[in-house]
Amino acid sequence: MPVFRIKISPEEPVYVIGVVCRLTEIPVWTLRQLDKAGVVKPKRLGRKNRLYSLKDLKRLEYVHYLMEKKHVNIHGIKIILGRGE
């Protein structure tokens, strides 16, 4: 069996929203709200399809921690991440 040595840059958008939802345990509707609020900026394919990078996933892991363990809302997350008004 061949061994594939594929290297994907952390910035390369390759994960669709359903996969990101499962990996981060963040509901799809929350991921959409985080995108709308500018907390993450997934790449768009067309008007609807979002593609997330490994870098986005790492950021979302931290966002999930803030939301679930520290009970921070999206506005607070934007401030903590330096994207607030």
Confidence (pTM): 0.86
Establish if 32 belongs to a structural domain: yes
**Does a structural domain hold residue 50?**
yes
- Which residue range is the domain that position 30 belongs to? 15-80
Adjacent-strand bridge partners of 43: 51
Q: How many domains does the chain have?
A: 1
Predicted local distance difference test score (pLDDT) of residue 85? 53
Residue 71 falls inside a structural domain: yes
Q: What is the CATH number of the domain that holds 55?
A: 1.10.1660.10
30 domain-assigned: yes
Task: Render the burial of 32-71: b for 16+ CB within 10 Å, e for the rest.
Answer: eebbeeebbebeeeeeeebbbbeebbebbeebeebbeeee
In a domain, 35, yes or no: yes
CA dihedral of 32, 21, 16, 47, whole degrees rounded to 10: -10
What is the pLDDT tens value at each position of the chain, 85 positions in all? Answer: 778 888 899 999 999 999 999 999 999 999 999 999 999 999 999 888 999 999 999 999 999 999 999 999 999 999 999 865 5
What is the rounded distance in angstroms from the CA atom of residue 70 to the CA atom of residue 28? 20
